[in-house]
Amino acid sequence: MTHPATPPRQQQFASDNYAGMCPNAARWFQEATASGHEPAYGDDGWTQRVSEALRELFQTDCDIYFVFNGTAANSLALASLCQSYHSVICTSVAHIETDECGGPEFFSNGSKLLVAEADSAAGRLGKLTPDAVEAMVTKRSDIHYPKPKVVSLTQATELGTVYTVEEVRAIAAIAKRRHLKVHMDGARFANAVATLGCQPSDITWRAGVDVLCFGGTKNGLPVGEAVVFFDRALSVDFAWRVKQAGQLASKMRFISAPWLGLLENDTWLANARHANAMAQRLHAAIRDLAGVQVLHEPRANAVFARLPPPAVTALRAKGWRFYEFIAGGGCRFMCAWDTTPESVDAFAADIAAALPG
Ligand SMILES: *Cc1c(COP(=O)(O)O)cnc(C)c1O
């Protein structure tokens, strides 16, 4: 029995994880099933190939693990850096703080997140500052307080800003001086690299990052994130941690092989550049509309803007989906690897029509 093809739905601006998988990822997914029987649990050739390709991309002999989602990647990476009496410095808008249901605390058996106020200057919204890290780590040193052990940065941030190489270096320098490890939540790492135009190594291990959670899902994979340890001493026993957490895919090749599609011809960067460009297009179309208050020029693939509540209601009535109040940032309009210019223009036109005339 054949199933009728489902017509594509209206594209949405709620999240980049609304998008499907990109053709290159889908092709390698197919290849991985066409290859027949393969060893399970990551002992397959695909997983070895992708790990090698990622080591090449990062220009270093890093240790790599594949998990199903970003919450697990972050939670398990942080748990591997902390004892239960340690703490993790992050911003108040960090995904690990606001959107992982206590996963980092749970998997670390109680490591506390120490929340610093994110930078509030336009253009730097959502970033951790060196001063905030220094203040957090020097606030207490007594035995009654969970000992700071990790600084966690989100790149690109939850508010669509991007840390420069210098900014990461500055925070990592304090971390090093204070004996903290540096974790990077890179759910949108590709979008940040596309904006910066730097090598992936420049913004990670060369700048002092110890472990990166490299997001694949939002960049065009069906599922899967890579946990990249630049310091191999930190990944000892990580494989057991992944297994215990229920994050070890037995048919690992279906998570790893699609990464080959992302890495081939820098598809990951092309996907990210496209998503970023669509955010620029949307920003250009709505920034001068009376009643729209854009928070800052997009640096990655999201536009944050305040709209009058009736306009929000009208847009929702037309079937548009988007988030509000993420990190206190008004409406969030997120573009994906497959967002079309036509979708952006249609959405922008509906925003204009929804505003009080
Ligand atoms: C999407 C996202 C994640 C991963 O979330 P999952 O739903 O667990 O895959 C992690 N960090 C940030 C900043 C994100 O936006």
In this structure, the strands spanning 63-67 and 225-229 are antiparallel
State the CATH class of domain 23-265.
alpha beta
What pLDDT, on the 0 to 100 scale, is given for residue 329? 66
Ligand 1 atom nearest to 72, measured from its CA: 8
Q: What is the mean pLDDT of residues 50-65?
A: 98
What's the whole-model pTM score?
0.97
Pocket test for ligand 1, best of 16, 66, 71, 163 (most atoms within 8 A of CB): 71
Average pLDDT over residues 336-340: 98
Phi, psi of 260 (to 5 degrees): -60, -35
Residue 241 near residue 79, CB atoms below 8 Å:
yes
What is the rounded CA–CA span in Å between residue 325 and residue 168?
27
Question: What is d(CA 193, CA 230) in angstroms, rounded to the nearest whole number?
Answer: 17
Does 2 have pLDDT greater than 70?
no
Residue 280 has pLDDT above 80, yes or no: yes
Ligand 1 atom 3: residue of nearest CA: 70
The 10 Å Cβ neighbour count of residue 253 is: 26
The percentage of the chain sitting over the pLDDT mark of 70, rounded to a whole number, equals 98
Question: Which of ligand 1's atoms lies nearest the C-alpha of 94?
Answer: 13
Residue nearest to atom 6 of ligand 1 (CA): 70
Whole-number average pLDDT of the chain: 96
Domain 16-20+267-354 = CATH 3.40.50.2300: no
Structural domain boundaries in the chain: 16-20+267-354, 23-265
Query: Which residue of 91, 95, 113, 221 sits with most ligand 1 atoms within 8 Å of its CB, as the best mutation to test the pocket?
Result: 95
Pocket of ligand 1 (CB under 6 A): 69-71, 95, 154, 158, 185, 187, 217
Residue 282 CB neighbour total at 10 angstroms: 28
Give the model confidence (pLDDT) of 198-254 as tens digits.
999 999 999 999 999 999 999 999 999 999 999 999 999 999 999 999 999 999 999
Closest atom of ligand 1 relative to the 185 alpha carbon: 11
Please give the number of the atom of ligand 1 that sits closest to the Cα of 74. Answer: 10
